[in-house]
Every structure is written in C-alpha cells, then in structure tokens.
Structure 1
Amino acid sequence: MALPSRARVYADINSHKPREYWDYESYVVDWGQQDDYQLVRKLGRGKYSEVFEAINVTNNEKCVVKILKPVKKKKIKREIKILENLRGGTNIITLQAVVKDPVSRTPALIFEHVNNTDFKQLYQTLTDYDIRNYLYELLKALDYCHSMGIMHRDVKPHNVMIDHENRKLRLIDWGLAEFYHPGQEYNVRVASRYFKGPELLVDYQMYDYSLDMWSLGCMLASMIFRKEPFFHGHDNYDQLVRIAKVLGTEELFIYLEKYHIELDPRFHDILG
C-alpha cells in the first residue's frame, strides 16, 4: 500500500477557499451566443477539441474558438471553472466567453488570440537569453496556477504559445487541469509521454504540483541541449528507463521505498 504524499507548497489552498471555488461538478455554466463569432480558419485539432481562428463580430477583434468534442459534462465544467478561476493570472490564456451552438448544442470556449510561433521551429533559434526569459515567464504562469490550488497536468511545448515578436507567452489548454487536494488519488493517465514525471510512470496517484515542474524541466533540457524531446521513450515503460539512464536509478529506488511504491514487474528486467 503506497504512502500518502503532500505538496511542499500551496498544499491547503483549496481547503481555505469556499466550496464553490473548487466544486466544479456543482458549477452552473452561463452559456453565451455563438452567433457573435465567425470562424476564419482551422488552427489545429486535439483529442478533445478543434481549434479555430475567429473574429468577434461585435468588435471585429481576432480570437480563438475551441470547439469541444463530446466528452463528459464534468470535464467541460472543470476546464471552464479552472479558466474562470485563473482569469487575469500571469501568462495564463484568457477565457473571454463560453458559448453553445444554438442548433447542435456543441459547447465552445472563446479565448484571446496569440500570434504563435511553432515551438519546434522557435526553440532551434532561441538565444540563451531567450530561453531564460521564456522559461521565467512559464514559471510565473505555473506559480500562479499552483498558488491558486490548480495543477495544469499537460505542460509541453504544444501548450505554450509564444508571440516572439512581442515576447509574449501564454500557457494554454487547461482541459486536463485539476484542483489539488492533499492525499487525493488522481488519474495517472495525464500529460504527454515525453513530459510525464516518474510518479505517473510508476502509477503513484497521490501526486501534486511538482508534476508540472518535471514537465517544465523536460522543456528546459530540450532547449539547452537542442534535443526535442529530451527523454524519448517508445512507451511508458521505456520512458522511465530513458529517465533512469540520464539521472540514475539510485534516487528512483529511494523514492519508491520512501512511498512504498510497488514497481510493475515489467520494470525489473529493464531497470535491473
């Protein structure tokens, strides 16, 4: 039986907030009109959504529309509640409105527009100063959400928008974000493989904000060493092996012992 863990910082934020702050299941969404937004072009698609550049016809301003694919209402409510709680926070993408298509009832989220440069192309050209600048801005975004009792759980280059011309950074895609409550067991099927912390790879469910710091560390390493991704595992097992090959197994085993974490037998052959 694994031992519980507790965040070293911001552990009790949500216990000091009113219930409606974190109880997203009881949240009632105030849906607006989709007619105010005209889609211009498709920017991309993910597992849970399709994203478009759009125009707000009421003021002629560019915005981004994220049309959600059919998922549990609970997940949609969680994303909206978190975005509303974080609105105005340092380097957090601004949620401008939530709307529903009048006919299909498909929900969509309206965000501020960021003139983004693709990270995979950008990071090749960044100077030492640029790297420090953008990582500091990303750290400010993470410190802000953590100080508000929220883990992002999907930090990766794809979710960091950088307008290099204006030196503006925004942390986006809060679809996997969750409220932190000490001792709560969370789903380990979060974050993208190359950015998953060891706790996810060994199925330890009582993780905390430090999950996001690992992902940030992976981005930092990839920028410094110009190797994207930095830990390139073929599957979740190989991912932990790649990490251990760089950082050693000694501290991994100390960690497993400390929290009484049982390692999947498949690891014994590959980690020794």
Structure 2
Amino acid sequence: MASDHHLVVAVVRTKLRAYKDQVGRPAHKFNVHKLKEKAKAEEFRTKLRNKFCVLEHLREETIEEQWSSLRETWKTTCKTIVGKKIKHKEWLTTDTWALITERKNLKDTINQTQDMVEKQELQVRYWEINKEAKHSAQRDKRRFIEELTAEAETAADQPNIKGLYEITRTPSGKNSNPSRSVKDKNGNAIATEDEQRARWAEHFKETPNRPAPPTQLLDINTNPSSKAEIKIIKAIKSFKSGKATGPDGIPPEALKANIQNSTEMLHPRSHQDLRTRTSTNELEVKTPCKAAKER
C-alpha cells in the first residue's frame, strides 16, 4: 500500500529543570565555623550590635519592613565577617593548592585572550599544569590514606576503639571531632609538632602571669527577663547547629552567637506582632457580639 509517511527514529533525552529559590535564600552557605574563634565571634557580635543600634533610631515601620531590615542585617553581617563557605580537601598540601590556583589563573587568562597563537600556547601550558595538579593531588591523597592506615593499626594494637572509630570515619568526611590547628601570636598556623609543644609551653607560662584587667563598667542588662524574652531565648537555644538555613537565609549559628542581642532584636517585633494579632482577634470576636446587641 502506497503511503507518503516516513518512519522517523530519534533519541530523546529528558532533563530536570533547575529549581530556583525565590524566597531570597542565599545560594551558598556561610562559613559559620569561624564563629568558634573568639576574635571572630567578638567581631561578629560588635558589628551586629552596632547595626542594631542604627535600626533602633529609624522611623516606625510595619512588621514586614522591620523583619526585612533585621534579616538583611544578619545576612550582610554574616557575609562580611564569616564569608562564603569553601570546601577544602584536608589531604591537599600547599604545593598542590599552588598548582590549582595557577591552573585557575591560566583558565581565566585563556578566556580573556583574543590572539589565537597566544591562546594555543596558554592552552599547552594549562594542560601541563592540569596534569601536574592531578598527579600531585593523587600523591597527597595516597600519602594521607597511608598515614591514616598506620594510625588505625596503632590504635587497634593499643587498643583504642574510640580513636580507631574516628580514623575510619575520616576518609568519608564525617569526622565529628576535627583537630584544631595550633596558632602563634600572629594567628599563623604552626605545622611541626615541636613548634606546637613550644607554643603550648609559652602559652601556659604567660597565662598565670597575665596582668589584671582594668576595672570598667560593663553594659549588661540586669533587668529580669519577661516571659516573651524567655520563650525567645529557649527557641534560639533549641536551634540545631550545622543545619540548612530556612527561607529567611539566616544560619542558626548567627542567632546563637549572641543570644542576648538576638533576643533584644526580636523581642520588640514579636511583642508588636502579638499585639497586632490580639487586636485583630478582638475585633473579629467583638464585632459579632456588638452586632447582636444592636439587634
């Protein structure tokens, strides 16, 4: 039977559409791990307190405008002080990171170069650096695994079950007890074990002989907390650290960095919001009764 139809064979691939968050949540996580450092945490509290003092002197706004101002205050402070969270592989050495940085700079230079001859020369250099960076990363990871294996064998022979358990969790990136680096007085990390021991000895010699702090009055609120403030404090303390941010984009660690200041910022807004809701409910309840009396 004659027909003008033709058989068409095709391969169809489906791809899920990328979801874009429309609620203002940042696309990246803040490096809230820096808030564990005393100097960084104090800087964060001071900057947040100063911004809150500026907000107090602004004109009266609605609940939505006030919450928007508070939310932007927390987010901008986190962005300025702690910055964006960047994942680093702990087994990579300084030389490997130098090669990775050089490779990234070469990639940017290649994208900006218009001359084809120069671009080909840069691409050849980029391929060499890329190969060196990959080989260096492989050597670092192999050395890191060998060191972990030796530590695991030592822990199993002692026996140290807790240490063995933490070592086996380290390659999966789920180490719950990361070791903190020892730093000198200038804030630079100390690599060798002998220098770390010398720094600890210096620290304990200076700590008992530290001069007495100057006597000064501290700006501490000694007034008893109200029931609303106590509820806000309990709510902030109940937040779990290390969790993803909500629609407001504020990490829990930012609220828990200074619970007193966070309570002072949130308490007037919650009181006003509660008062607004109460007045609205009273209107809704009283209006039918008033109408019934008029009848």
- Shared fold, TM over 0.5: no
- TM-score, normalised with respect to structure 2: 0.19
- TM-score, normalised with respect to structure 1: 0.20
Greater relative contact order (CA < 8 Å, ≥ 6 in sequence): 2
Structure with greater proportional helix content: 2
Which one has the largest radius of gyration?
Answer: 2
Structure with greater proportional strand content: 1
